[in-house]
Amino acid sequence: MATTSTLGRITKALLAPALALGATVGLASAPAQAAVWSSCDQWGNTTLNGYTLYNNIWGSGAGSQCVWANSGTNWGVWANHPNTGGIKSYPNSKKVVNKTITSLASLTSSYNVTVPSSGAYNTSYDIWDTDYDYEIMLWVNYNGAVGPLGTSQGSVTLGGHTWNVYKGNNGANEVFSFLRTSDSNSGTVNIKPILTWISSTKGWMSSNETIGDVQFGYEITSSSGGLDFITNNLTVSSS
């Protein structure tokens, strides 16, 4: 089973010099119009209309991957990773929040994606505090041999959905994973009640923790032959 924690390693990796994989594959199914930005570099990234996009190939044994974007909220990735275990990448779009849980009046997100029927991956939010001590993952859909880090904490209905909850530690940070009990390719998630439940109801972290950023993307374990993951639309809003 693949574990889910990514950003502890990703953050450290992004501080190192960017190392291109040297991929020469084309953008297999980029939109008909020319993308505003694209990259096949391992750590390729850019900022568009308030969102930061990352190609973010970080796992061992990874293959080729290219990301394209028309905006920070409409983007996609073509990935050809071998049919082996372990997460290979987490291409994502990030929105900075930088507010404590108690000071957040609201934190919501809407998504609409087109994902393949084959391969092993999850479509997920990855939410971090500013110190990268706590990672909150919200899986909205998943396919193939993938699974969360940690042990089951039962199920809970929060933010408009019912989730199976897992709690674990990857050696660098606490990981709280929420897996939707029914897959969804589009919808809206009210994130604030989930953060309140983790902090105030369960006491797993302080309600004074500052939420640094909300990421949305695809944790890809395998996509042999090349598969497309498309974010048709994404919004992250906080107040």
Average of per-residue pLDDT values in the chain? 89
For CA atoms 230, 80, 164, 101, give the dihedral sign. Answer: negative
The answer to whether residue 2 sits within a structural domain is no
Locate 86 and state its tokens: 């372990």
Q: At 34, is the pLDDT very low, low, confident or very high (cuts 50, 70, 90)?
A: low
The answer to whether residue 220 sits within a structural domain is yes
Convert the pLDDT of each residue in 48-61 to its tens digit: 999 999 999 999 99
Q: What distance in Å separates the CA atoms of residue 44 and residue 39, rounded to the nearest whole number? A: 6
Q: At 22, is the pLDDT very low, low, confident or very high (cuts 50, 70, 90)?
A: very low
The answer to whether residue 197 sits within a structural domain is yes
Convert the pLDDT of each residue in 118-172 to its tens digit: 999 999 999 999 999 999 999 999 999 999 999 999 999 999 999 999 999 999 9
Convert the pLDDT of each residue in 222-236 to its tens digit: 999 999 999 999 999
pLDDT number for residue 64: 97
The answer to whether residue 230 sits within a structural domain is yes
The answer to whether residue 1 sits within a structural domain is no
Q: At 189, is the pLDDT very low, low, confident or very high (cuts 50, 70, 90)?
A: very high
The answer to whether residue 35 sits within a structural domain is yes
Each residue of 155-183: b (16+ CB within 10 Å) or e? ebebbebebbbbbbebeebbbbbbbbeee
Q: What CATH number has the domain bearing residue 199?
A: 2.60.120.180
The answer to whether residue 103 sits within a structural domain is yes
pTM: 0.87
CA atoms within 13 A on the CB side of 191: 31
The answer to whether residue 209 sits within a structural domain is yes
Number of domains making up the chain: 1
Q: Answer yes or no: are the C-beta atoms of 27 and 68 closer than 8 Å.
A: yes
What are the backbone dihedrals phi and psi of residue 197, each rounded to the nearest 5 degrees, phi first? Answer: -65, -45
Convert the pLDDT of each residue in 63-107 to its tens digit: 999 999 999 999 999 999 999 999 999 999 999 999 999 999 999
pLDDT number for residue 44: 97
Q: At 9, is the pLDDT very low, low, confident or very high (cuts 50, 70, 90)?
A: very low
Q: At 29, is the pLDDT very low, low, confident or very high (cuts 50, 70, 90)?
A: very low
Q: What distance in Å separates the CA atoms of residue 197 and residue 200, rounded to the nearest whole number? A: 6
pLDDT number for residue 148: 96
Domain that holds residue 227: 7-238
Closest CA to 231 of 62, 51, 61, 2: 51
